[in-house]
Every structure is written in structure tokens, then in C-alpha cells.
A and B are shown apart, each in its own frame.
Chain A
């Protein structure tokens, strides 16, 4: 089974400074990886996804992530944080369900991003 590890449970940055949220994955084959964001008391929103195309993936709201096979990493970055970026971020890996259709998403434990003035 595949898994993801989010290395930081909390990250705090100042508004206007870069954001780096770290994620490492474990996989026996080429994985499909995602970042989801969850704002307080809200649902899950897909930020971006990697599915074995370009290794640098651009997402919504200025976020991007780079798939690095040699480092088994898929870190999320943004050049300049905004107050509205404060939320919980989840790194996710997908496994196809072999006994039927669909995919099983395995979530990391989440990183709480705090943005300060």
C-alpha cells in the first residue's frame, strides 16, 4: 500500500513570504499525488494533482508542487502567502481499487498553515 508523510503538523509564515509544506510518499510504483486544502469548517478543495505528466504541477491560487522521484517528495509551495491561505493542507496519494472501479485516497495527517500580518 502507498502512504504519505507530512513532515510538519504546523507551519507559520508572515504574509507576503514564501510557503513550503512538505510531503514525502512511499510507493512501489509511480504514484498519483494530490494536495487538498480545507478551510475552517469547510469541505475539501483540490489544489493540484500529479498524475505522471509534468513533474512541476501548477494549481489554483498560485500554489504549485514538484514531484521528485529521487527524493520521494511532493512539496507544496507558494511564492507569497496571503491571509486567505490560512487553512489545513493535506497531501494525498491514490491507489486504484483492484477489486472494482474507483480509487482509494490515502491522506496525510495534515499541515495547519498559519499566516501572520
Chain B
């Protein structure tokens, strides 16, 4: 069983479209995250949710809207996609502030054309 799973793995779409990436974790963790890896492989946190509550929003354009329907899911919806949104998006989860078991998904490669 995959601990943190993201779908889709690859996503190619045109500028201006709206798309969603889904993330699910089966580890029983209470905190979930979205990280973005740009073309230079730099990774930066975008959002964090704890018990379905948003606790970090790192100056991300409001075209990006995370949604956490329950503790096991954190989805990322992106409106009006732009070329600069092309990146790999990683979901992760952890149990509170415990550093053990901070787990990443395998990533979603988004390409905007």
C-alpha cells in the first residue's frame, strides 16, 4: 500500500485551464503539505494543513487553492494555469511535529503548454 499517493502522476494542459491534483495518505497523519519543485529543482513549501485547517500559506498566488475534506486528503486546485506553473508538485504528510515519518508522495509533473 502506498503511504502518500498523488494523482495524476503526469498532467499536461493548456494555459488558462483549471486543473486539480489529488493527494491521499493512509498513515493516519494529522498534517499534510504541498511542496513545489521548479525547473531548477528547488523545492519550497506552498501549504500546510493540520487537522483540515490551513496553517501555512507561503505567498502562493490565489489561483492555487488547497482543499482538505478530511485528515487523509489534501487536494490542490489551480485556476487559470500559466506557463510558470509548470513544475513538479509533491504532497507530504507528518504526524504533528514528530520528525520521524515525514513522508513524501512521488510527485505530479505538471506541464502547461
Chain A interfacial positions (CB closer than 8 Å to B): 32, 38, 42-44, 46, 49, 51, 88, 90, 94, 96-97, 99-107, 109-110
Q: Which residues of A contact B50 (CB under 8 A)?
A: 97, 100-102
A-B contact count (CB 8 A): 69
Which of A94, A100, A106 has the most B CB atoms < 10 Å from its CB?
Answer: A100
Interface: B55 (CB within 8 A): yes
- Interface size bucket, B side? 20 to 34
Q: Which residues of A contact B107 (CB under 8 A)?
A: 43
Q: Which residues of A contact B92 (CB under 8 A)?
A: 105
Q: Which residues of B contact A104 (CB under 8 A)?
A: 45, 48, 56
Whether A88 contacts B41 in the complex (CB less than 8 A), given A43-B104, A102-B31, A103-B97, comes out as: yes
Whether A110 contacts B42 in the complex (CB less than 8 A), given A97-B48, A101-B50, comes out as: yes
Whether A107 contacts B48 in the complex (CB less than 8 A), given A101-B31, A102-B55, comes out as: no
Question: Contact between A105 and B102 (Cβ–Cβ < 8 Å)?
Answer: yes
Q: Which are the 3 A-B pairs with shortest beta-carbon distances?
A: A100-B55, A102-B31, A43-B106
Question: Contact between B97 and A96 (Cβ–Cβ < 8 Å)?
Answer: yes
Q: Which residues of B contact A103 (CB under 8 A)?
A: 94, 97, 99, 102
Tell me whether chain A's interface is mostly helix, strand or loop, or mixed. strand
Q: Which residues of B contact A109 (CB under 8 A)?
A: 40-42
Question: Contact between B55 and A99 (Cβ–Cβ < 8 Å)?
Answer: yes
A57 and B90 CA atoms in complex are apart in Å by: 26
A102 and B95 CA atoms in complex are apart in Å by: 7
Q: What are 12 A-B pairs with beta-carbon distances under 8 A?
A: A32-B99, A43-B106, A96-B97, A97-B97, A99-B55, A100-B31, A101-B96, A101-B97, A104-B45, A104-B48, A104-B56, A107-B42
Question: Contact between A42 and B106 (Cβ–Cβ < 8 Å)?
Answer: yes
Interface: B30 (CB within 8 A): yes
